[in-house]
Amino acid sequence: MSTIVKICGLKTLDTLDTALDAGADMVGFVFFPKSPRNIGLADAARFIAHASGHAETVALVVDADDASIASILDEAKPDWLQLHGSETPERVAEIRKSSGKRVMKALPIATAADLAAIPAFEAVADRLLFDAKPPKDATRPGGLGVPFDWNLLHGVETKVPFMLSGGLDPDNVAEALRITHAPGVDVSSGVERAPGEKDPDRIRAFIRAARGVT
Ligand SMILES: O=C(O)c1ccccc1NCC(=O)[C@H](O)[C@H](O)COP(=O)(O)O
């Protein structure tokens, strides 16, 4: 089965088209004002409509309230909601039920102890995203371009599919997949030429590398 590839933090039509043309399975749009990838609702709606039918679309939120989620669903109509904050299993279940959307829950990973969160969240989410735990002084909970020890995921078993994330790039994604056998990978910083500025060549290179295309 081919590795599912998600390109996250897209902000322009040309880089979205690059990701789609290169075969990205999922494209992510960030709704987090402190992020250099933060996107407005109108642009997200336009890009999600453009991507529909070519890739699954993901709206990424961080501890969003019901009103914010409702606006995103009404205006942008994503296929997935990615919950990248400190949402509890109960909150994940509540959002999944009320939105009727598939939900991907990000779990911050730094040590083996962090894997203890898997059972509670795999019971309420459609997919898990293992991302590097942010440092205490981080201004955002993701998109930091920093990996965690992939060996922590060696042999991990989950009841729902998972994605590997955090500090991936065209040069390390094949090794990350060799170690983790992750069914999916997700990248943001590693395909950028500057924070929030996606690089089409790096997007293409990442997808090729993730697919094992030399
Ligand atoms: O990308 C962001 O700026 C971001 C901001 C706030 C919460 C989550 C964010 N990104 C989440 C993602 O899914 C990223 O792709 C993931 O954290 C990996 O990022 P990177 O290490 O930069 O590849």
Q: Residue 14: pLDDT above 80? A: yes
Ligand 1 pocket residues where CB is under 6 Å: 8-9, 28, 30, 32, 35, 37, 60, 62, 84, 131, 140-145, 165-168, 186-190
pLDDT given for residue 16 in this prediction: 98
Mutate to test the pocket of ligand 1, among 30, 34, 207 (most ligand atoms within 8 A of CB): 30
25 lies in which domain range? 4-210
d(CA 87, CA 32) in angstroms, rounded, equals 15
C-alpha separations of 104 from 135, 137, 214 in Å: 22, 25, 30
* Distance between Cα 68 and ligand 1 center (Å): 19
Just list the catalytic residues: 8, 131
Contact between residue 61 and residue 69 where contact means Cβ atoms under 8 Å apart:
yes
pLDDT given for residue 214 in this prediction: 63
For residue 108, the domain's CATH number is 3.20.20.70
d(CA 72, CA 57) in angstroms, rounded, equals 12
* Distance between Cα 161 and ligand 1 center (Å): 19
Could you give the number of structural domains in the chain? Answer: 1
Contact between residue 34 and residue 140 where contact means Cβ atoms under 8 Å apart:
yes
Q: What average pLDDT score do residues 15-39 get?
A: 98
pLDDT given for residue 195 in this prediction: 97
Q: Per residue in 168-183, pLDDT tens?
A: 999 999 999 999 999 9
Q: Which residue has the tokens 């998972």?
A: 162
Q: What average pLDDT score do residues 65-87 get?
A: 98
Q: Residue 88: pLDDT above 80? A: yes
pLDDT given for residue 1 in this prediction: 74
Q: What average pLDDT score do residues 136-146 get?
A: 97
The b/e string for 8-35 (b: 16+ C-beta within 10 A; e otherwise) is: bbbbeeebbbbbbebbbbbbbbbbbeeb
Mutate to test the pocket of ligand 1, among 29, 34, 68, 84 (most ligand atoms within 8 A of CB): 84
Q: Per residue in 107-134, pLDDT tens?
A: 999 999 999 999 999 999 999 999 999 9
